[in-house]
Amino acid sequence: MAFPKLPPHDGPVLSVVDMHTAGEPLRVVLTGYPDISGDTVLAKRRYARRHLDHLRRVLMLEPRGHRDMYGALLVPSELEEADLGVLFMHTEGYSTMCGHAVIALGRLAVDYGLVTPTSPETRVNVHCPCGLVSAFVQYCNGKTGAVRFHSVPAFAFATDVKVSVPGYGEVIVDISYGGALYALVSAERFGMDVTKSRSRDLVDVATAVTKAVKSQVKLHHPVSEDLAFLYGTILTDGRDTFTEEPTANVCVFADAQVDRSPTGSGVTARIALQYHKGLIQLHQTRSFCSGTTEAVFTGKAIQETVCGDFKAVVVEVAGHAYYSGAACFTQEDQDPLRSGFLLR
């Protein structure tokens, strides 16, 4: 049966490809956006936030999206070595880094001819708002497979930070950067288990920690103030010392969104923190399990570097992404919910 033609509509037609990485969705915008002004990817991020946010809402919110939707908008990069630039979006706004998206975009770049494929791996340089990230896509007999990427310099921002969390008293957290800043704390501190406790309870705790850190800790980033914000809280199983067994975590980010994957930038932040504490060595591969889907990413520190005054590491994260569909979205002026909404 032929795909039906779109009925009469108002405004742009937004065409997308939907993917997921370890269960975490990614809606990649192919066409329909107007030109985005800005000399840099960070400037384009600011422009999209100020002038095109209505399109983010259309794509991320209901009835086209959902509370935990995630998206990627391809944009030109100012870097000669970049194969593509990208802006990350979610139901609250715009992120600076997203590892699960980079894994998916690596496959998409090869499959859609944005780069020339090579075997056994194809390199795809993705310019994220946090900087240039190199993805390496398995490619054999015309098919793409697993993807690994090398992060921007990742570092422990602060350790053993005391914050007062309403309802839970004084809580000690670490803050680490993996392309975005996260607060990290063991779920055991709250009498919870990241693989067994109710998602709602984990979300409530993580959200309370995020709010406490945002209000009580001054954050900064040596490269750009656009990167100096707390993206969310990662609740862990407390297994930070290196072991062959997987360590589990749940990441709650933005406006209490729950990552279905182990969180690529979160794995990066956890590896950087563990390396800083001497709990893991260079080239020791750890497995990180999602507390929600039980899907696994691997991560390892591969190189020492610096980021401003911070001692940092480059982290390699690996996982699998899959296609789940494609769509064209429209709006009608007479639709009272055309701009999107969220059901709490």
**DSSP string across 29-81:** EEE-PPP---SSHHHHHHHHHHHSHHHHHHHHSBTTS-TT-EEEEEE--S-TT
Amino acid letter, residue 159: T
Distance in angstroms (rounded) separating the CA atoms of residues 138 and 224: 33
Cα separations in angstroms, 344 against 200, 244, 341: 12, 39, 10
Task: Give catalytic residues, as residue numbers.
Answer: 98
**Helices (DSSP H) in 135-262: which residue ranges?**
199-216
In three-state secondary structure terms, 92 is coil
Token pair of 110 as six digits: 């090869």
Distance in angstroms (rounded) separating the CA atoms of residues 301 and 275: 7
List Cβ neighbours of 344 (8 Å cut-off, separation of 6 or more): 67
Token pair of 215 as six digits: 């209000």
Cα separations in angstroms, 99 against 262, 308, 331: 10, 22, 31
